[in-house]
Amino acid sequence: MGQAEPPSCRSSSPSILFLIGRNSQGNWVAQDQQGLCGGLFVSRAEALRYARLENGNGPHAVVMVPGVFELNLGDKPQPFHHPGSSARLANAAGRP
């Protein structure tokens, strides 16, 4: 059985901001800031690859979300932060 492709945002803005983090199940999530496209991934590298392909490989268009980040298409993503975790986003540009 083949894997389904996550929804694509390519027809919209060429400089889409993507958020990447882990959900409560431990899967990697990549989702655009508007909640229009994204998906679940088995590795951080695959989530980054998807986000970079969708945003035209923009160097500052991918950020890491600390804490739990659930996929929520159709609405702006709302990351959940564990008590004591940093609410800041770390720029993931240039990280493998």
Evaluate whether residue 22 is within a structural domain. Answer: yes
User: pLDDT for 20-74, tens place per residue?
Assistant: 999 999 999 999 988 888 999 999 999 999 998 888 877 678 889 999 999 988 7
Evaluate whether residue 13 is within a structural domain. Answer: no
Q: Is the dihedral of CA 93, 3, 24, 14 positive or negative?
A: positive
pLDDT, position 81: 47
Count of residues making up the chain: 96
Evaluate whether residue 29 is within a structural domain. Answer: yes
Evaluate whether residue 88 is within a structural domain. Answer: no
User: pLDDT for 7-20, tens place per residue?
Assistant: 566 544 556 789 99
* Confidence label for 75 from pLDDT (cuts 50, 70 and 90): low
Q: How many domains does the chain have?
A: 1
DSSP H or E run through 45: helix 44-54
Evaluate whether residue 57 is within a structural domain. Answer: yes
Determine the structural domain holding residue 35 and report its residue range: 18-72
Segment 82-86 mean pLDDT: 42
Distance CA 81, CA 15 (A): 26
Contact 71, 38 (CB under 8 A): yes
pLDDT, position 59: 64
| Whole-prediction pTM | 0.65
Q: Which amino acid is residue 62, in one-letter code?
A: V
